[in-house]
Structure formats: structure tokens, C-alpha cells
Structure 1
């Protein structure tokens, strides 16, 4: 289970970093454009950032959780990483 927890930690930490990039870009774009879509994107990224920061907090000092629960959360963090990485790719490109 330690490898599973480590993968979840790395995915959550990477998600936090990528979301900080997105919040910065979309926040700057909103300041320039004043579009509701840009504001919505920035707020969405902020909510995801809060979720990933909380998950990372729990992964760094994990409560006793069953193996299947940790594995399920790891899968979700990795899938979320793929989605966020795609958003960063299309935003920066």
C-alpha cells in the first residue's frame, strides 16, 4: 500500500503545481478580458486546487484507511492529473 500512497501523493502534489499555473494564467486573462468564461475557469481551478491541497494534506499524514479506499483515491488522483495536464497543455500552447 505504500507505493499506492506514494503515487497518490506525487499525483496530488503535481496537480497542485499545475493548478497554480492555471489559476495564474486564467486569473491574468480575466483581469485583461473580463470574460465570464475566464472567471469560471479560474474559479473551477481554485476549487480543484483546494481539493488537491486537502487530499495532499491527508496523504502526507494518512489516517488509517483500507487498501481499496487508498487505491481508489490514487486512481482518481492519477485521472485528475491527466485531465489537468491536458488543460495546461491547451492553455499554454
Structure 2
């Protein structure tokens, strides 16, 4: 289970960094354009950032959890990473 937790920790940490990049890009874009779409994207990134920060907190201070639950959360973190990485790719200028 240690490898599973390590993968989940890394994925959550990288997600946080990527979301900070997206939040910066979308926040700056909103200040320039004042579009509802960019505001919605920035708010979405902020909530996803909060979710990943909470997940990372639990991965660093793990309560007693069953191995299947940890494995499922790791898969979700990795899938989230793929989606966020794609958003950074298409958003980056």
C-alpha cells in the first residue's frame, strides 16, 4: 500500500502545481477580458485545488483506510492528473 500512497501523493502534488498554473492564467485572463467563461474556469480550478490540497493532506496523514479505498483514490488522482495536464496543454500560450 506504500507504493499506492506514494503515487497518490505525487499525483495530488503535481495536480496542485498544475492547478496553480491554470488559476494564474485564467485569473489574469479574467481580469483582462471579464468573460464569464474564464471566471467559471478560475472558480472551477480553485475548487479543484482545494480538493487536491485536502486529498494531499490525507495522503500525508493517512487514517486507517482499506487497501481497495486507497487504490481507488489513487486511480482517481492519476485520472485527474491526466485531465488537468491536458487543460494546461490546451491553455498554455
TM-score between both structures, scaled by the size of structure 2: 0.99
SS at match of 1:11: helix
Runs of 4+ in 1 over 2 A off after TM superposition: none
Q: CA RMSD for the aligned pairs?
A: 0.5
Provide the C-alpha distance between the structure 2 equivalents of 1:53 and 1:25, rounded to a whole number of angstroms.
19
Q: Residue 69 of structure 1 aligns with which residue?
A: 69
The Cα of 1:53 is off from its aligned counterpart by 0.2
Return 5+ residue gaps in structure 2 as ranges.
Answer: none
Q: Residue 55 of structure 2 aligns with which residue?
A: 55
Provide the C-alpha distance between the structure 1 equivalents of 2:13 and 2:62, rounded to a whole number of angstroms.
15
The Cα of 1:49 is off from its aligned counterpart by 0.1
**Number of residue pairs matched by the alignment:** 93
Return 5+ residue gaps in structure 1 as ranges.
Answer: none
The Cα of 1:34 is off from its aligned counterpart by 0.1
Provide the C-alpha distance between the structure 1 equivalents of 2:20 and 2:50, rounded to a whole number of angstroms.
11
Provide the C-alpha distance between the structure 2 equivalents of 1:68 and 1:33, rounded to a whole number of angstroms.
45
TM-score between both structures, scaled by the size of structure 1: 0.99
The Cα of 1:78 is off from its aligned counterpart by 0.1
